[in-house]
Amino acid sequence: MRFKQFLIVVLLSFFSAFYAKAVSILQYHHVSDDTPASTSISVEQFTLHMNYLKQQNYKVLPLNEIVDGLKKGKKFDAKTVAITFDDGYLNVLTNADPILKTNEFPYAIFVAPQEINQGRSNMLSWPQLKSLSEQGVLILNHSLNHDHLNRQLENEDIEAWKARTSEDITTAQRIIDEQLGPQLKYLAYPYGEYNTELLALVKSLDFIAFGQHSGALSKQSNRQALPRFPASGRYANLKTLKVKLQTMAMPIKKLTNDNPQLDQHTQGNPKRPELVVTLDLSDIYKPTLTCYILGEKVDVTWIDKSSFSVASNIDLPAGRSRYNCTAQSRTKSSYYWLSQPWINRNEDGSWPQG
């Protein structure tokens, strides 16, 4: 091998060791053929997902191993994934658990204790959760009542909101701990909704927290807004999931104007928020940076060598929406991915349902 080739191989392996951090988390709700399509994956499709992970030698790790590893700067295998379910539906036990057990895949369930307390027939019960917990399934916090934690009530000031929300999260944790013994302080935001204040509150309560915006994880990921790839409903397609699982976390140095809750924006047009992103460009093939908003490709504006801004050309709708940006790696055949969530009120200032 000539020296130049040798040098390239060394450099490539250095970069791939450094950047091949395709560590991600999958998020499911129902695993069933007869539950609402938007939050369900069929048993057949779920089996295909799990078979794919097995065949491709994905390392399926317990969620806490990923979180702890990120903290410590651990070098993960390029194909590392965790599996999570939100809400605690009975069909996770009846339909998903046998498939996960066969594959020896660990997983986590986020539950809202008051919903479990209601004892609905389609939900897991505390004894079932206890049994799963004893088998190594992580049972985690999804708020007390599955409320939109970011929303202030009418006539509620920020301090009262903080006190109420803090009480909600800690009470949920207390009930889970009482039922199952002390569990990890991990929270999945109901509906994936959070704002800057909630991130700070959750951090002050010493919780790790997860959203529902797409993306891989890295050491730089905000530990109170860890992304997960939704993998049910319209995201259940294995072909697109395969691509997502190979993406890496966008190497972000700084995000500006990234409070997801748009009515709290005090600058610019809150219906067309201008997100400013500063990147570590060392492995990014800059011309390939592309952003998508509401399914349309939009132009980005480079502000300086490593910072760009992107804004929607049309008003964002009420409810939840996203900006997604991808860029190709210079050294690997995969993409970096950034997803920024937004939450918007209705025209009349009320909040959308669901």
By the criterion CB under 5 A, which residues form the site for Zn ion?
86-87, 190
Least distance in Å: CB of 91 to Zn ion?
14
Least distance in Å: CB of 18 to Zn ion?
36
- Whole-number Å distance between alpha carbons of 130 and 128: 5
Q: Closest residue (Cβ) to Zn ion? A: 86
> Is-contact 165 172, C-beta < 8 A?
no
Count Cα atoms within 13 angstroms, Cβ side, for 17: 7
* Number of neighbouring beta carbons within 10 Å of residue 88: 25
Task: State both tokens at 286.
Answer: 């800059």
Q: Which is nearer to Zn ion, 86 or 283 (CB)?
A: 86
Least distance in Å: CB of 173 to Zn ion?
16
Q: Which is nearer to Zn ion, 85 or 308 (CB)?
A: 85
- Whole-number Å distance between alpha carbons of 66 and 59: 11
Least distance in Å: CB of 212 to Zn ion?
9
Amino acid at the residue 154 = E
Q: Which is nearer to Zn ion, 89 or 342 (CB)?
A: 89
Least distance in Å: CB of 84 to Zn ion?
11
The contacts of residue 70 (CB under 8 Å, 6+ apart) are 23, 217, 218, 219, 221, 223
Angle at 272 between CA 266 and CA 276, to 5 degrees: 75
> Is-contact 214 229, C-beta < 8 A?
yes
Q: Which is nearer to Zn ion, 21 or 142 (CB)?
A: 142
- Strands 284-293, 296-298: pairing is antiparallel
Residue with tokens 């938007």: 38
Q: Which is nearer to Zn ion, 141 or 261 (CB)?
A: 141
Please provide residue 335's backbone torsions phi and psi, each rounded to the nearest 5 degrees.
-110, 150
> Is-contact 78 108, C-beta < 8 A?
no
Least distance in Å: CB of 123 to Zn ion?
12
The contacts of residue 52 (CB under 8 Å, 6+ apart) are 238, 241, 242
Q: Which is nearer to Zn ion, 145 or 306 (CB)?
A: 145
Q: First and final CA of the chain: distance in angstroms? A: 61
Q: Which is nearer to Zn ion, 113 or 190 (CB)?
A: 190
**H or E stretch including 102?**
helix 97-103
Least distance in Å: CB of 190 to Zn ion?
5
Least distance in Å: CB of 346 to Zn ion?
21
Please provide residue 91's backbone torsions phi and psi, each rounded to the nearest 5 degrees.
-65, -15
Q: Which is nearer to Zn ion, 148 or 272 (CB)?
A: 148
Q: Which is nearer to Zn ion, 87 or 283 (CB)?
A: 87
Least distance in Å: CB of 63 to Zn ion?
16
- CA–CA distances in Å: residue 67 to residues 72, 174, 208, 236, 298: 9, 22, 8, 25, 33
